[in-house]
């Protein structure tokens, strides 16, 4: 079945072992901007999960025996097809998710890069000679170590990057010779299904990849607990991550669990660049971004000027129809999320926080881009991940005070620091408890080749194509006694 857009499809199939399957039980896919159902997908059952596992067991054998050049060819052909269908993929992302059409096109471009990086990673799965004669009594031994696939990878992905975050798990899995089962977000499954169809078209054997749709509550634990699954790669919330970790047992786990990322702006910073980066980082994809700027710490001497710039830029953001080329920010993913953001901001206001700009729900799933100040310590908008269009500005005495407050949360994904002082930059790099420090960029900066992940409640392990590929392999030692 060729899928080119939600306007031509009533019910999309899921794929189990490369075979399209429909179901009498379906889950609706809703456009967050209009609230209209744009498609349905199967609501998978426990039986479907068991079938996916059985196919994956076959697929693991197929994938492990697939030559490197074939893996590379499939991935590069997939990247070519996605690039050729850029607008179709972008329209799909913008329809099922919160992203504007301009944001969606950028995600498609990143996905192409992720798949190409994965193809290159396939050729890098090598090993090393081991000098066994370094140990007395081992003079007659020679050997090496080599990398091999873990077997079956289970990938669980969120709604905010419905195409590229799937690619970040599927691409490295294929490159390293694994089979993979994808459970995409129930809110945005269509992009994952279209990616799977494209991979099959490019020559990927069906049993190597399954995409199982529906509610994880119905079948998720079956997939996570099954001993045939040797790695779980999860991107999502901390609460769900903890549940998966407890259910998984003895297998590899990689988790990216979000953050409430800080940006520190020192008094020698380029304030125009800092303000633009902070506003862009705070409101990309309506703030539904694990790297999104949530806490902006400014030295007191430049706080008022920085505040002025941030408020002006935020007030100029155009919120509206996702398909309008002039729109800067779309809706939240659901009305429930918009109501949650409204409650969090109202709580902050009731405790003395001041709204500098925004602070209003605009109906349905829309919430205006919002900047707060004077937020009392300990409130949820500072302590937890807002995952919405809300950032708080906080004046600080000096760099040490900013670092102390930045670290005083249970998250640590990325941070941004704006300064022209190289010594202060390296001091911040050393002291900030995060997985990445962006100097003269916001916390939102990322390329798909870099290691990506955090500390504390922000997760375990690292993504980024090379690093995900490493995690999806096991090392085997070979020794000859001559």
Res. 5 pLDDT band, cuts 50 70 90: very low
Q: What is the pLDDT of residue 61?
A: 98
Q: pLDDT tens, 432-443?
A: 999 999 999 999
Q: What is the pLDDT of residue 4?
A: 40
> Which phi and psi angles does 264 have, rounded to 5°?
-110, 125
Q: In which residue are the tokens 């693991």 written?
A: 60
Crossing angle of the two packed helices 399-407 and 422-431, in degrees rounded to 10: 20
Dihedral sign for Cα atoms in the order 288, 291, 295, 300: negative
Q: In which residue are the tokens 């930045």 written?
A: 406
DSSP 251-318: SEEEEE-----EEEE-TTS-HHHHHHHHHHHHHGGGG--TT---EEEEEHHHHHHHHHHHHHHHHT--
Residue 446 has pLDDT above 70, yes or no: yes
The rounded distance, in Å, linking the Cα atoms of 403 and 42 is: 47
Q: pLDDT tens, 14-44?
A: 999 999 999 989 999 999 999 999 999 999 9
Q: How much of the chain, in percent, has pLDDT values that exceed 70?
A: 98
Looking at the whole model, is its pTM more than 0.85? Answer: yes
The rounded distance, in Å, linking the Cα atoms of 480 and 349 is: 70
Q: Which tokens go with 212?
A: 């199982």
The rounded distance, in Å, linking the Cα atoms of 297 and 399 is: 9
Task: Show the domains of the chain with their CATH numbers.
Answer: 6-257+459-481 (3.40.605.10), 262-451 (3.40.309.10)
Element (H, E) at 96: helix 86-96
The rounded distance, in Å, linking the Cα atoms of 359 and 216 is: 33
Q: What is the pLDDT of residue 3?
A: 40
The rounded distance, in Å, linking the Cα atoms of 173 and 187 is: 24
Q: pLDDT tens, 408-426?
A: 999 999 999 999 999 999 9
Q: Which tokens go with 272?
A: 């125009």
Catalytic residues: 256, 290
Q: What is the pLDDT of residue 6?
A: 45
């Amino acid at each position: 079945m060729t899928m080119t857009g939600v306007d031509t499809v009533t019910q999309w199939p899921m794929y189990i072992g490369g075979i399209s399957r429909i179901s009498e039980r379906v889950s609706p896919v809703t456009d967050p901007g209009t609230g209209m159902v744009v498609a349905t997908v199967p609501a998978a059952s426990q039986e479907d999960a068991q079938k996916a596992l059985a196919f994956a067991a076959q697929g693991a054998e197929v994938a492990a025996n697939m030559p490197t050049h074939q893996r590379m060819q499939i991935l590069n052909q997939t990247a070519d097809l996605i690039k050729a269908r850029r607008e179709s993929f972008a329209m799909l992302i913008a329809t099922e998710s919160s992203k504007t059409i301009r944001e969606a096109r950028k995600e498609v471009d990143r996905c192409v890069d992720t798949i190409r990086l994965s193809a290159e990673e396939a050729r890098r799965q090598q090993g090393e000679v081991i000098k066994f004669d370094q140990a007395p009594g081992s003079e007659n031994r020679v050997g090496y170590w080599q990398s091999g696939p873990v077997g079956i990878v289970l990938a669980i992905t969120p709604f905010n990057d419905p195409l590229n975050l799937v690619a970040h798990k599927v691409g490295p899995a294929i490159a390293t010779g694994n089979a993979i089962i994808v459970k995409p977000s129930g809110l945005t499954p269509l992009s994952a299904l279209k990616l799977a169809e494209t991979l099959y078209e490019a020559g990927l054997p069906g049993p190597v990849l399954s995409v199982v749709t529906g509610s994880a509550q119905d079948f998720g634990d079956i997939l996570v607990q099954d001993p045939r699954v040797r790695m779980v790669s999860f991107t999502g919330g901390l609460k769900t991550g903890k549940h998966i970790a407890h259910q998984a047992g003895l297998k590899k786990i990689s988790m990216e669990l979000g953050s409430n990322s800080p940006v520190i702006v020192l008094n020698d910073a380029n304030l125009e660049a800092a303000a633009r980066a902070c506003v862009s980082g705070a409101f990309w994809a309506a703030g539904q971004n694990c790297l999104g700027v949530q806490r902006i710490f400014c030295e007191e001497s430049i706080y008022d000027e920085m505040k002025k710039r941030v408020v002006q830029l935020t007030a100029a953001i155009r919120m509206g129809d996702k398909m309008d080329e002039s729109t800067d920010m779309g809706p939240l993913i659901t009305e429930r999320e918009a109501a949650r953001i409204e409650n969090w901001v109202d709580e902050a206001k009731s405790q003395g926080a001041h709204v500098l700009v925004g602070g209003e729900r605009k109906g349905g799933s829309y919430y205006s881009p919002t900047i707060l100040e004077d937020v009392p310590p300990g409130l949820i908008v500072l302590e937890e991940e807002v995952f919405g269009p809300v950032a708080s500005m906080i004046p600080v005495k000096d760099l040490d005070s900013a670092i102390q407050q930045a670290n005083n949360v249970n998250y640590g994904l990325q941070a941004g620091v704006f300064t022209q002082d190289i010594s202060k930059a390296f001091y911040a790099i050393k002291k900030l408890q995060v997985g990445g420090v962006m100097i003269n960029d916001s916390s939102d900066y990322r390329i798909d080749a870099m290691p990506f992940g955090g500390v504390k409640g922000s997760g375990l392990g690292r993504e980024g194509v090379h690093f995900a590929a490493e995690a999806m392999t096991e090392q085997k030692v070979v020794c000859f006694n001559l």
